[in-house]
A and B are shown apart, each in its own frame.
Chain A
Amino acid sequence: MNSSKIILLVTALCISAPVFSQTKPASFLEVDGGASLPLGNFGATATASSLMSIQGTVNDVHGWANIGAFGSLDGAWFFSKHFGVGGMFKYGTYGLKKVDSLSQGYEESFDVDTTRTTPSHYTLWSIMPGLYYNLDITKRLSFSARALVGITHASTPKITCTIEDGGVFDAPIVQYSASKTAVAADLGAGLNYSLSKSLALALRTDYFYTKPDFSIVNAPRLNNAGREIYQYDQPLESINFSLGIAYRFAKKK
């Protein structure tokens, strides 16, 4: 639903855009960095009690992703006064949140004195070509939008839980990192402010979506208890907020 609204907005702006410039926008190369808010089950967590399972393992659809960070390099060449083609190369990472609930779920499932849970991160590498739109609002300020489709190589975190009971450390619970490449989409809009003829600040919001359907490998579980997932087929979707600096190439006259 969100993505539909963004597409409609971009389309409406394209159709109704008044013409402030009679020339094509300059091609640009832009470096961005920012924060990423995971959406849906990707950013959802579970309670320790819902992860407690003592006579079998329990599946978990939650991604536990915390607010992440990303950096990107993108650029575009404009073939008309509003539209251009370009692409983005992006690297993003997300830690895990509420790891204490995850840890306590294992502790209650195995009825042990202490659990120590150490997760690594989700990582996403994306290459996404697509369509760019630009609309000059004032001499220095312009509106931009983009619709990109490409591929993302995503990795899930490795989660290691050591368990200790009665002073004895038993076999740790390990969910290994899984990787997969999948189709991804990015819809974004933002404002650019010219600092000079060749430099501009870019403030942007993007919606990102991919669904890699990971197959998860775990260390052999000797006893059927606690959280254990073999498949993670939830979408990895996020809203990204970025600040960047763009270098605009000189326009050809």
Chain B
Amino acid sequence: MQNLLSTGRKFLPGAVILLLLVVSACNKAAQTVTPSLPGNEFLTTVELRLTNTANPSDVQLAISTQMSPYTHTYQVDSIYNNLAFLRLKANSTYSGQVIILDETQTPVDTVSLEILARENYHLFFFQPSPVLSSNFDVSTTTTYIPQADWLTNVPASDTTAFGIPENEYMTNATDSALNLVVNRTDLDANSPPMQIGLKDNFLTGAASTGTLRVVLRHQPNAKNGTYPPGSTDLDVTYAVTIY
């Protein structure tokens, strides 16, 4: 009996330790970090194509691009704004479309189709400036950018077409405001659906001038109609003249 107990004392602790080792060996937390995929979408050009709903022949195309018009190559530090302007008729409604291109590809890649496919986490914002304070309303269904995210310290050398400064500001006076309101007209596949902004209505008021800033926010698992979540995919400013 003594021998049996002695043998038991030899084997049982070893067996228990073996058991604990086997069980604990698989309790390490697994974690996987997946880095960027090579060849993610890339964009060079943002176009606004506006059609006057009362006069289909009145089509305005504004182009902001990083493709050099001289060498037709992508310039990482340059934006070519010479075609980045809109001339819109006063007191009119234009149906608008945002077209995003990658002009480094042959044929040219229409990135906005990719944005449309991924509509559930992309949202466009349109900020006219100077904006009339009585029009300025930040909500989940308006296209205004919160004031905290406005461009306010852009160097004077950075201008839109026609040399208009890009800095944004608000005014109380109708005659000094850019009389333009942009409304999104397309909806995504979220539940409930939210706006996207690839298709929009541009409503003009009295004759005025200013700028229109267009921002595309990428909001993965964060899109809720507001500006802050996510990061910015594009941020361009156009000169606008309402006549």
**A100 proximal to B (CB < 8 A):** yes
Q: Which of A55, A56, A103, A226 contacts B33 (CB 8 A)?
A: A103
CB pair A245 B12 closer than 8 Å: yes
Closest approach, in angstroms, between the C-beta of A173 and any C-beta of chain B? 6
CB pair A110 B29 closer than 8 Å: no
CB pair B32 A110 closer than 8 Å: no
CB pair B32 A103 closer than 8 Å: yes
Complex CA distance for A119 and B8, rounded to whole angstroms: 39
Complex CA distance for A110 and B18, rounded to whole angstroms: 44
Contact mask for chain B residues 18-49; partner A; CB cutoff 8 A; 1 contact, 0 none: 11101101111111111111001100000000
CB pair A170 B229 closer than 8 Å: yes
Complex CA distance for A157 and B136, rounded to whole angstroms: 47
**B78 proximal to A (CB < 8 A):** no
CB pair A35 B221 closer than 8 Å: no
**B222 proximal to A (CB < 8 A):** yes
CB pair A163 B220 closer than 8 Å: yes
CB pair A199 B7 closer than 8 Å: yes
**A171 proximal to B (CB < 8 A):** yes
CB pair B232 A166 closer than 8 Å: yes
Complex CA distance for A68 and B24, rounded to whole angstroms: 10
Question: How many residues on the B side are at the interface (Cβ–Cβ under 8 A)?
Answer: 48
CB pair B220 A112 closer than 8 Å: yes
CB pair A69 B26 closer than 8 Å: yes
A165-B218, A170-B229, A198-B8 are contacts. A224–B190 as well, Cβ < 8 Å? yes
Q: Which of B15, B32, B117, B118 contacts A31 (CB 8 A)?
A: B15
Within 8 A of B (CB), among A109-162: 110-121
CB pair A54 B26 closer than 8 Å: no
- For B229, the chain A residues whose CB sits under 8 A away are 170-171
| Additional A-B contacts beyond A114-B36, A116-B33 (4; CB < 8 A) | A95-B26, A102-B32, A113-B36, A244-B15
5 closest pairs, A vs B, by CB?
A166-B231, A110-B220, A33-B19, A103-B34, A99-B32
Q: B residues touching A (Cβ–Cβ < 8 Å)?
A: 3-4, 7-8, 11-12, 15-16, 18-20, 22-23, 25-37, 40-41, 117-121, 189-191, 218-224, 229-233
Jot down 30 A-B pairs with beta carbons below 8 A, ordered by A: A31-B12, A31-B16, A33-B15, A55-B117, A55-B189, A69-B22, A69-B25, A71-B22, A95-B28, A99-B31, A111-B41, A114-B33, A114-B35, A115-B34, A163-B220, A163-B221, A165-B218, A165-B231, A170-B230, A173-B221, A196-B7, A197-B4, A198-B4, A199-B11, A222-B190, A223-B121, A223-B220, A223-B222, A243-B18, A247-B8
